[in-house]
Structure formats: C-alpha cells, structure tokens
A = this chain, B = another copy of it.
Amino acid sequence: MTSHRRPAGRVSVNIRCVSSPPAVDTSYKTNVPRNANMAKLQAGYLFPEIARRRAAHLLKYPDAKIISLGIGDTTEPIPNVITNAMAERAHALSTIDGYSGYGAEQGEKKLRAAIAATYYADLGIEDSDIFVSDGAKCDISRLQVLFGSNATIAVQDPSYPAYVDSSVIMGQTDLYQQDVQKYGNIEYMRCSPENGFFPDLSTVPRTDIIFFCSPNNPTGAAASREQLIKLVKFAKDNGSIIVYDSAYAMYISDDSPKSIFEIPGAKEVAIETASFSKYAGFTGVRLGWTVVPKELLFSDGHPVAKDFNRIVCTCFNGASNIAQAGGLACLSPEGLKAMHDVVGFYKENTEIIVDTFTSLGFNVYGAKNAPYVWVHFPGRNSWDVFAEILEKVNVVTTPGSGFGPGGEGFVRVSAFGHRDNIIEAARRLKQLYK
C-alpha cells in the first residue's frame, strides 16, 4: 500500500464549454478511487428510474391523474388478521414479558418452522434450511456477496434487474456492451414467445450460478414440471447452483411447481428465495425467506448453507420482529385464507388487463400464473411505448427492455392496483389503442 498525501482543497480546472469561462472546481476530493464496478452500472436501477420519469411527468402535468401499473407495488390493505398480530407484537414490546431484543439472525424458530411446514411439507426441507429475510431482493444481494466476484452467472433474458445489477456491483461482469445491451461475462438465456419463455439450454454455456425466476418477472411465465426437470438436470450436469426466485408462486393457477424443491434432486443444486410481499401486501413491511438446503455443497464439499449463515450473521441482523409476527399470522389458517383472497383479487385484475389488450388485438403473455401481463408491441422501442402510454393516457407501465435486451418490444403491465384504477386504466388503454 503506498501512502498518498495531498493537500486539502486542491484545485482542478475543468473547461466545461468553449463559450463559457473555465469553471474552477475547488471542491475537495478524497483520494479514494470509485469502485470500478459501480461505474459499470447503466443509468439508475430500473424502478427508481420509472419513479423519476413519473415524477417528471407530474411536474409537467400537475393535474394528471396517473395510474401506476408500473413497479409491481401492492395496493390492497393487509388483512386484519395479519396487522392485528403485528400491532399486538408492537404493544408486547412495551412489556417486560413481551419485550425481545436481537432475534436469531436466521429468523424466529416458530416462523422458520411455519414456513417449512406451509410451503415445503413433504419436500424434505427442514426448519433449519429456512433463512428469514427482509425481502427477496435483499437476499439476492447477500447471495451475491456469498458467491463473490469470481462467480459466473446466467440469467433469463428478460429478467428482474436485481440479479444482473448485483452481479455487476460484485464485479462478476465485464463492461456493458452498448451494441448488444448486455454486460460482458453474463449468460443471457433468451426467453421469448418462440421458446415458450423457457431457454434453449443446449445453447447455454456452463456458469456457476443460474438465476431463474418462476413465475417469471417480467414475462409472467411459469415453468412447467417438465421444464424444471430439464433445468435441474442441466444444473446437475454442469455442477451449477440455481437461485430459484419463487416470489410469485402463490399466483400459479395451473399445475406448474410452486417450488423448485418439488423436482427430485433439486436440493443438491438449488437455493430458493421467496417473499411475503406479493401475497400479503408486505412490500413495505419487508419479509421474505431463502431456502438453502444442507445438501447443497460447494466443489470442496463445504455446505453453502454454512457460508450463507455466516453472511446472514455478519451482514444482517434478522428481519424486524414485528414483521416476523406478521409472517407467522400469514401462515395461520385465517392468514392463508386471507392471502389467497388478496392473490385472487389481483388475479381478477390480471384478467381485466388481459381482456383489454386482447380485445385491442395485442398478443399478451404471462398473466395466467403471475400478476404480470407481458404485452407485445412488435418492432417498437419499449421506452417509446412506455412514454406514449404515460404521456397520452397517464398510465405507468414498465418498459420490457428495462429487464434486458430480450424484453425489447414488450411492456410489462402490473395487475397490482385498486379495481377502479384497473378498470379506468383499461378504459384509457382502449381509447389509446382502439
């Protein structure tokens, strides 16, 4: 390590524009180099970027009655059975007997047991395989920290941007290649109507990690049992680890598996990450979980769960105890019924959106097993379509290309919304594209 000493407030001169006087930048700069991986990231994270554009639109048209079918944010109240439990836990924290401080970093025993029993009964997943989190997105980053900068990854294209962005941040990738709109050293597994939104694995090179989201965000496609058997076999043949994002599993209407662990042998090659966000409206409450089976081993035989436990203990201190009380209530018989009702409500919204676009002659995908409708605008630029819908009828969607080059020409329409807003958005869209 060399010692750099520079005087404070050193002056650098930037000539910003030919016709202006040279600007003198007198601001102090540290000698700490910016993390080169951060510099590789393109623009903002997708959803804040959409929020920014929405805000800019509102600034231009302060009276615009915007309906947001963009960021996939839940809108319906959390069922009472769940919030009552959280309020009760909050009050209990004011009592000697009910107070609790640091919880187990992995989550409260009761909640881990309830998650295992509710979602993984008969799948051989034990309570100790469950790590409670403050949400799937946070755990995706913690998993990336676990894998480290030398890991190679594959993602579905299009896919939820947190996989790619966290990979860039961890230094697993090369620079962004503007011409192909991909980062170097990531395998983009194209998922399109042509392949039924399941990648042609025969063309996919081996990577250490395969991020796979089903039901998929953004395409709404759920992989079938047959497809997942192929995926697990592919991972096993290659010795890869699948990070299976099942955050929308409760939206599955057909017989697609709700967990990767329904596939025999998956415990030896897969991690599953999940969330209460889209089931119970917990997007703001923050609660999820990740399953790391003890059968999953690195090449040297070291259990992945052991290292993940160390990450959770060092970089995290557990989800909020009040949120965990909510999670436990979610998994009571009344809570499960209430969550099913919430999911059912959003699924009705999905049908309205599907009917709208179908009636206008668009090809739509997804929707059946997910709260997302993936609408095809062949030959058009996604951001142009996004801007058109926002500017002309004040409806926020998400441009497909924000999820990867494979999303170009598509727009994701989220079914999260009050019913009257969904109906009004449908009316406006019919007006726009009639």
By a beta-carbon cutoff of 8 Å, the part of chain A in contact with chain B is: 1-8, 12, 25, 27-39, 41, 44-45, 47-48, 71, 73-80, 82-84, 86-88, 90-91, 93-96, 98-103, 105, 134-135, 137-138, 141, 145-152, 162, 165-166, 169-171, 185, 205-209, 235-241, 265, 268-269, 281, 283-286, 295-302, 307, 310-311, 313-323, 326, 416, 418
Q: How far apart sit A235 and B2, CA to CA, in the bound complex (Å)? A: 15
Partner of A206, one of B3, B35, B151: B3
A171 touches B145 (CB 8 A): no
B301 touches A148 (CB 8 A): no
B33 touches A239 (CB 8 A): no
Partner of A32, one of B151, B286, B326: B151
**Most chain B CB atoms below 10 A, which of A28, A78, A208, A320:** A320
Between A and B, 19 residue pairs with Cβ closer than 8 Å are A3-B238, A4-B239, A5-B206, A8-B237, A27-B268, A31-B206, A31-B238, A31-B239, A38-B311, A45-B313, A47-B313, A74-B101, A77-B93, A78-B94, A79-B94, A86-B90, A93-B284, A145-B145, A286-B318
A99 touches B87 (CB 8 A): no
B314 touches A166 (CB 8 A): yes
A298 touches B240 (CB 8 A): no
B83 touches A93 (CB 8 A): yes
Given contacts A29-B239, A165-B314, contact A34 B300 (CB under 8 A): yes
B317 touches A135 (CB 8 A): yes
B94 touches A317 (CB 8 A): no
Q: How far apart sit A5 and B238, CA to CA, in the bound complex (Å)? A: 5
B44 touches A313 (CB 8 A): yes
If over half of A's interface residues share one DSSP class (helix, strand or loop), that class is named, otherwise mixed; here it is: loop
B73 touches A307 (CB 8 A): no
Q: How far apart sit A343 and B417, CA to CA, in the bound complex (Å)? A: 44
- What's the minimum C-beta distance from A261 to chain B, rounded to whole angstroms? 15
B87 touches A28 (CB 8 A): no
Closest 10 CB pairs of A and B: A31-B239, A35-B148, A141-B315, A87-B87, A34-B298, A86-B90, A284-B321, A73-B101, A101-B283, A45-B313
Partner of A299, one of B33, B149, B169, B320: B33
A29 touches B101 (CB 8 A): no
Partner of A34, one of B44, B48, B302: B302
Partner of A286, one of B76, B152, B317: B317
B141 touches A314 (CB 8 A): yes
A317 touches B35 (CB 8 A): no
A27 touches B315 (CB 8 A): no
Given contacts A31-B299, A32-B298, A298-B32, contact A38 B4 (CB under 8 A): no
Q: How far apart sit A141 and B418, CA to CA, in the bound complex (Å)? A: 38
A236 touches B320 (CB 8 A): no
Partner of A137, one of B74, B141, B235, B317: B317
Given contacts A77-B95, A91-B87, A298-B30, contact A265 B320 (CB under 8 A): no
- What's the minimum C-beta distance from A334 to chain B, rounded to whole angstroms? 13
Q: Which residues of B contact A138 (CB under 8 A)?
A: 315-317
